[in-house]
Amino acid sequence: MEKLEAHQKGLLHRAFSVFVTNAKGELLLQQRALDKYHSGGLWTNTCCSHPLPDEDVLTASHRRLMEEMGFDCELKEVFSFTYRAEFTNGLTEYEYDHVLIGQFDGEVRPDPAEVMSCKFASPDEIRYLMLTAPETFTHWFHIAFPKMAAFIER
């Protein structure tokens, strides 16, 4: 089914979250466009979305990274998790989320329909922001980032 229908019915479905770092070990964050159907204006990982029917997660991750952020890079899946979050607009995310990591140091060209802003930030800066302003981050980022930080800080 379409992702919006899955979110309306609160059904478990596949998703992915891409975390891209630079050579300094900083994570590329994106601030979701305000008119996204949920979590608009919140900060999150570099790219996240859903595979198309019969599309594998790695292919989908490369496709959406290019569509959302205007670049592509080598990606590797590092873990997955399941979570459920209900939003005030009646939608529910109930996702089996594959988490991938990559590195990129080139030009980022985000699609303004998807991304309001983006920036590189160190894991320590992100931890501080998550402690002082947790409401400015997406629900899934609060789950994925602490696990992902171990991979970023290696």
Confirm whether 152 is domain-assigned: no
Rounded Cα–Cα distance for residues 26 and 127 (Å): 12
Confirm whether 49 is domain-assigned: yes
DSSP of 78-137: EEEEEEEEE-TTS-EEEEEEEEEEEE--S-----TTTEEEEEEE-HHHHHHHHHH-GGGB
Full pLDDT tens readout for the chain, 154 residues: 677 788 788 888 899 999 999 999 999 999 999 887 667 799 999 999 999 989 999 999 999 999 999 999 999 999 999 999 888 888 888 999 999 999 999 999 999 999 999 999 999 999 999 999 999 999 899 999 999 988 887 6
Q: 47, 48, 68, 93: which is the annotated catalytic residue?
A: 48
| Active site (annotated) includes residue 77 | no
Confirm whether 126 is domain-assigned: yes
Which pLDDT value is given to residue 93? 84
Q: Write the CATH number for 21.
A: 3.90.79.10
Q: 47, 68, 73, 95: which is the annotated catalytic residue?
A: 95
Confirm whether 154 is domain-assigned: no
| Active site (annotated) includes residue 48 | yes
Mark out the alpha helices in 11-119 (DSSP H runs): 57-69
What is the number of domains present in the chain? 1
Asked whether 63 and 33 are in contact (CB, 8 A), the reply is no
